Amino acid sequence: MARARNERVARLAGALAGSDDWLIEVSQARIGRPVHAATVLTIGAGTLRGLLGGRSEQLVLAVCDEHVYLLDYRARTFATRVGGVVTHLPRTGLVAQWQRHRLDVKAELSWPDEHVFVSGRARPGAQTDLAIGLLMGSELERYT
């Protein structure tokens, strides 16, 4: 009896925290394609922008077979929502820089051929590491 109650509490806590598996499933449902890695990027979270009163925005970075999708993301206490596709870009033209810090991972993603640059911060974790690995692998394919 106590064990069943603990499992229910654990499931509820995972749902409230927004586990990575949930983020992948919702991203796949929105995109309609298999998603290999998904992580939340906070755009505009720099110190200077924070001091100037700029508002940060959150996007889901979803890595698929041939594309990288950026989806709208709204974090709420009880109803976290993944919205529609903001943009999708090819994995082949990506130039990425990743910097690990103690509390987050800074990402600078650039598609020079598309004239697109995205800079943000992600929480460290397994899905962030997987996204970094997949995107770095795509970048290395250009040089072979």
Question: Across residues 60-65, what is the average pLDDT?
Answer: 94
The residue type found at 80 is T
Q: What is the CATH number of the domain that holds 65?
A: 2.30.29.30
Please say if the pLDDT value at position 9 is more than 50: no
Report the pLDDT value the prediction gives residue 53, as an integer from 0 to 100.
Answer: 56
Residues of the domain holding 83: 2-141
State which H helix or E strand residue 137 sits in: helix 126-141
- Residues 94 and 3: their CA atoms lie apart, in Å, by 47
Task: Give the count of domains, the chain.
Answer: 1
* pTM recorded for the entire structure: 0.77
- Measured CA to CA, the distance from residue 127 to residue 32 in angstroms comes to 19
Q: Would you state the pLDDT for residue 19?
A: 57
